[in-house]
């Protein structure tokens, strides 16, 4: 089989520690997901990420601690104020304690995300952080997934034990949302200035988005120095305005994952690569982050995503094992061998 020389050059460059350019990332995304070239880039990204991480993966947990009609108005989100039918709800302390304990049991959780709405009550959030820090093992990191935030607030969150923040300037921010893309990017910079790790994502990807749109979005994080990058396809949430456009395939998502991984891999601060929602193709194309979810979920119309779209800890471990990962890495970077016997032991403990 003839191979594309330019493709070979780009892949060789990433193998030797080089950073690929925007133009090169666009070139890779321009191939059809069924092409031999797409298979090559997926295989290369998978090999390099596994090599860098010693074939280990990390499990994150996310708890949606409140739901409300959101003024962000995202046209792809279940909570957008113009179309949501979700009832407002704030998780009580007892329920939060139970959910944190469920995620933390067994000690395999690398990091726990606390997700609030775009507009959130800081005291409520700090209390949730304190509860999570009290219950979770010390080597489990606490992260936040919140709306636009200033430096001082991030510093306060750090004082309470928060390690990092997930924040995204989404595709078509300001067009498919009511939010200002400048504020979204500023919040990412604020998190970094406060000394937090930054986890971002190329999202939410729809079939109508051009290669250039994808490239421009993925480099927002790359140029800032992310700790974790990811790619997420847009879910056609029933009732959301963009649902009519449909979804990209998991195979196309896997190709995009590989390109984001190749473009991010050699950024000095970059440690892990995610795919959302979790799927086997992504974990053989450069992803090594998987997320268990509980509570509310912007991609889910169910009030408790653990009963619908969300994976639990057992499901996460099982998917990683099926995809060939040899270790689960905890928040202190220690490695735990991932075997069928280990999963069975944890399953029994958590039942």
Low-confidence residues of the chain: pLDDT under 70: 1, 68-88, 294-310
Describe the chain by its helix, strand, coil percentages, rounded to 5. 40, 20, 40
Instruction: Give the pLDDT confidence score for residue 307 in this predicted structure.
Output: 47
Please tell me the predicted confidence (pLDDT) of residue 303: 43
In which domain, by residue range, is 301 found?
Answer: 5-350
pLDDT at 176: 80
Q: Per the structure block, which two tokens stand in for 85?
A: 């039918």
pTM for the full model?
0.92
Q: Which tens digits make up the pLDDT trace of 93-120?
A: 999 999 999 888 888 999 999 998 878 8
pLDDT value for 79 = 63
Q: Answer whether 164's CB lies under 8 Å from 198's CB.
A: yes
- Which residues does 205 contact at the CB level (< 8 Å), separation at least 6? 171, 214, 231, 232, 233, 234, 248, 253, 256
pLDDT, tens digit (0-9, with 9 covering 90-100), for 304-318: 444 444 688 999 999
pLDDT, residue 220, reads: 97
- Residue partners of 261: CB distance under 8 A and separation at least 6: 45, 48, 49, 229, 273, 285, 286, 287
Q: Into how many domains does the chain fold?
A: 1
Average pLDDT, the chain: 90
> Tell me, what's the pLDDT at 167?
96
Which CATH number is 339's domain given? 3.20.20.70
- The predicted pLDDT at position 175 comes to 84
* C-alpha to C-alpha distance for 63 and 59, rounded to whole angstroms: 13
CA-based end-to-end distance of the chain: 51
> pLDDT value at position 296?
43
CB contact at 8 A, 238 and 301:
yes
Question: What are the C-alpha distances in Å from 336 to residues 6, 78, 342?
Answer: 39, 36, 9
Q: Under DSSP, is residue 100 helix (H, G, I), strand (E, B) or coil?
A: helix
Burial of 127 (C-beta count, 10 Å sphere; 0-12/13-18/19+): middle
Provide the token pair at 64.
């949606």
**DSSP tag of 150:** -
How many of the other CB atoms lie within 10 Å of CB of 137? 14
**The pLDDT of residue 189:** 98
The HSE-up count of residue 215 (CA atoms within 13 Å, CB side) is 14
Strand partners, 177: none
- Asked if 309 and 293 touch (Cβ cutoff 8 Å), the reply is yes
């Amino acid at each position: 089989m003839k191979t594309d020389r330019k493709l070979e050059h780009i892949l060789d460059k990433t193998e030797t520690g080089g950073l690929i350019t925007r133009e090169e990332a666009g070139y890779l995304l321009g191939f059809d997901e069924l092409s031999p070239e797409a298979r090559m880039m997926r295989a290369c990204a998978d090999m390099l990420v596994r090599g860098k991480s010693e074939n280990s993966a990390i499990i994150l947990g996310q708890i949606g601690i409140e739901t409300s009609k959101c003024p962000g108005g995202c046209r792809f989100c279940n909570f957008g104020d113009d179309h949501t039918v979700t009832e407002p709800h704030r998780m009580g302390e007892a329920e939060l304690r139970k959910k944190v304990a469920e995620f933390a049991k067994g000690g395999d959780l690398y990091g726990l995300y606390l997700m609030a709405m775009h507009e959130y009550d800081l005291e409520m959030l700090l209390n949730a952080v304190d509860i999570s820090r009290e219950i979770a093992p010390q080597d489990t990191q606490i992260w936040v997934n919140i709306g636009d935030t200033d430096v001082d607030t991030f510093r306060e969150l750090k004082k309470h034990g928060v390690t990092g923040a997930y924040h995204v300037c989404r595709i078509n921010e300001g067009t498919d949302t009511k939010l200002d893309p400048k504020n979204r990017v500023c919040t990412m910079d604020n998190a970094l200035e406060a000394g937090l790790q930054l986890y971002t994502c190329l999202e939410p990807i729809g079939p109508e988005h051009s290669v250039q749109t994808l490239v421009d979005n993925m480099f927002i994080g790359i140029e800032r120095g992310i700790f974790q990058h990811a790619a997420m396809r847009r879910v056609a949430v029933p009732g959301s305005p963009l649902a009519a456009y449909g979804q990209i395939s998991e195979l196309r998502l896997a190709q995009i994952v590989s390109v984001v991984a190749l473009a991010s891999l050699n950024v000095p601060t970059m440690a892990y690569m995610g795919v959302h929602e979790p799927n086997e193709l992504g974990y053989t194309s450069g992803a090594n982050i998987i997320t268990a979810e509980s509570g509310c979920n912007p991609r889910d119309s169910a009030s408790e995503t653990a009963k619908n779209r969300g994976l639990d800890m057992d499901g996460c471990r099982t998917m990683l094992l099926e995809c060939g990962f040899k270790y689960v890495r905890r928040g202190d970077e220690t490695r735990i061998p991932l075997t069928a016997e280990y999963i069975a032991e944890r399953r029994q403990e958590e039942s």
